[in-house]
Amino acid sequence: MKKLTLVVVIVIIVGAVWLSNRTPDSPFAAQSAAVPSAALIQQGEYVARLSDCVACHTIPEQPAFSGGLKMATPIGAIYSTNITPDKQTGIGNYSLADFDRVLRHGVAPDGHRLYPAMPYPSYAKLHDDDVKALYAYFMHGVAPVAQVNHSSEIPWPLNMRWPLAFWSVLFTDGGSYQPQADKDEKWNRGAYLVQGPGHCGSCHTPRGLAMQEKALDESSEQFLAGALLDGWYAPSLRNDINIGVGRWSDEDIYQFLKNGRNKHAVVYGSMTDAYNNSTQFMSDDDLYAIAHYLKSLPSNPQLDGKAWQHQPTTVSTEMATQPGAHTYMTRCAACHGSDGMGREQWIPPLAGATSMLTHHDASAINITLNGSSRIVSQGVPDAYRMPPFRQQLSDQEIADVLSFIRTTWGNHGGDVAVDEVQAMRHDTDPASSDVIILQMR
C-alpha cells in the first residue's frame, strides 16, 4: 500500500512538473512568417483596435505599445510590457508561434507564465486569421521602441508563476470561438467580438476567489453580470432593467460605443480608455453585432431587483434642509438639472442611472471625488468633463449628496456611508487629464 501511495505521489509530481513546463501547442509552430501584405497589416491594426491593446501597453507621454502601465493586484503591482518589435526589449524576436502562445495561452517564449491581467482567457477565442493579422501589424506596422520592462512588485513566493499553469487549466476554455449553428451570422459575430478580442468579461463579469472570471460565455447567467474592479463598478451588460442595458435599444448601445454617449449614459472610468482607443474605431456592422448579441442576454430578476420607476421631482430651495439637497442644488443641478435628467446626450441623467440604482456605490463615489477622464471623440476632446470634488466637498458632504441622489427620482441604490467615501479618497487619485490615444496611420 505504501509503495502504491508513493507511486501515485511520484506520478502527480511528474505530471505537475510536466504541466507547468510544457509548451502549449500552436497551429503556427511549423510556419515561418512571410512578409505580410499591406492588407494583412491593416487588418491587424483593426484587430488591435478591437482588442484595445494600447490601453494597457501604453502610458501617457510614451510611445504606443512600449509598456510600463502599473496595475495593482491583490498580491502586488505588475507592469505591462513592451510589445513593440524592438529585438532587445520588445517582441521583435517572437515567431508567429511565440506570439500565438503569449496571446492565446499566456506563455512567453522562455516558458514563464503571464499573469491573467493579460486577458488571454478571452484572447484564446481569437480566430487564427486574426492572430496572424495581429502579428503582422505588430511586427511591421508598429515602430520599435527600446524600453526596458519593469519588474513586478509581487514578493516571493507569491511571484512564482508556475502555479498559473494549473490556474489556466481550471479557468480557461481552450480553442477559438466556434459559431453556434442555431444563431444568425450577426449574433455570432457579436458573440465573438464580446467574448474574444473585446474581452468585455474582464471587467463586467464577477470574479471568484482565484480572481478568475466566473463565466466566459452566455451559457452562465454570471457572464457580464457586473463586477467591482479598480474602484469602479462595471455594470451588467445583460438585459437587467436597473443594473444593465435592459432599457437600452440596439441603437442606444451602438451610440454609446460609437459616440461615447447616449440618452442614458456617458462613458467614464475604465470605459473611457476603451472608447477613446477602441470602440469608436469599430465598423458600424461590428458595433451593431455587439448590440445584437448583448440584447440577447437575459436578465436576472433576483440580482436586478424591482424595476426602476421614474418619480419626477424638481429639487428646490425648500428641500435644502434635507441632507445632500443643498449640495445638489449648488454643485450638481447646473449640469445635471434640478430634475436630475441631465442635458440630453451631453450630460447624463442621474435619474435612473445605473450607478444610482445598484447597491454598489463605488462608481458614484469615485467619479464624485476624482472626476472623469477626458473623452476624445474623432480627435476632438470633450468639453463636458465631470470635475473632481475632492477638494471642494468633505467626505460627509459627498456621502450626503450621493445618498440624496441615490434615493431621489425613484432611484433605489440606497445611502452612502461616510467611511466608504473616506476609504475611496485614501485609495484613489483624481482622474488625470492625460489621455492615451493611439493615432491611426
Question: Among candidates 219, 198, 261, 214, which has minimal Cα distance to 51?
Answer: 198
What are the beta bridge partners of residue 380?
Answer: 377
The single-letter code of the amino acid at 396 is Q
Q: Which amino acid is at 85?
A: P
Within 10 angstroms of residue 211's Cβ, the number of other Cβ atoms is: 14
Nearest CA-CA partner of 382 in 371, 390, 374: 374
| Euclidean distance between CA atoms 414 and 424, whole angstroms | 18
Closest CA to 253 of 292, 298, 202, 199: 292
Please report, in range form, the residues annotated as the binding site for heme c.
53, 56-57, 200, 203-204, 332, 335-336
Cell triple for 219:
451559457
Query: How many whole angstroms from its chain centre is CA 364?
Result: 18
| Residue labelled with grid coordinates 506596422 | 141
Q: What angle do CA 202, 161, 48 make, to 5 degrees?
A: 40
Q: What angle do CA 218, 237, 248 make, to 5 degrees?
A: 125
Residue among 189, 396, 196 nearest 284 (CA): 189
**348 in Cβ contact with 342 (< 8 Å):** yes
DSSP string covering 296-308, please? Answer: TSPP-HHHH-SPP
**For residue 199, which phi and psi values (nearest 5 degrees)?**
35, 45
CA dist 249 and 228 (Å) reads: 25
Q: Could you tell me which residues are annotated as the binding site?
A: 53, 56-57, 200, 203-204, 332, 335-336
Burial class of residue 82 (count of CB atoms within 10 Å of its CB; 0-12, 13-18, 19+) = buried
CA dihedral 137, 138, 143, 149 (to 10 degrees): 170
State the Rg of the chain over Cα. Answer: 23
Could you give the CA distance from residue 426 to residue 53 in angstroms, rounded to a whole number?
30
Q: Which of 394, 329, 330, 342 is nearest to 368 (CA)?
A: 394
Residue 398 burial (CB count, 10 A) = 27
Q: What's the rounded Cα separation, in Å, for the pair 101 and 121?
A: 12
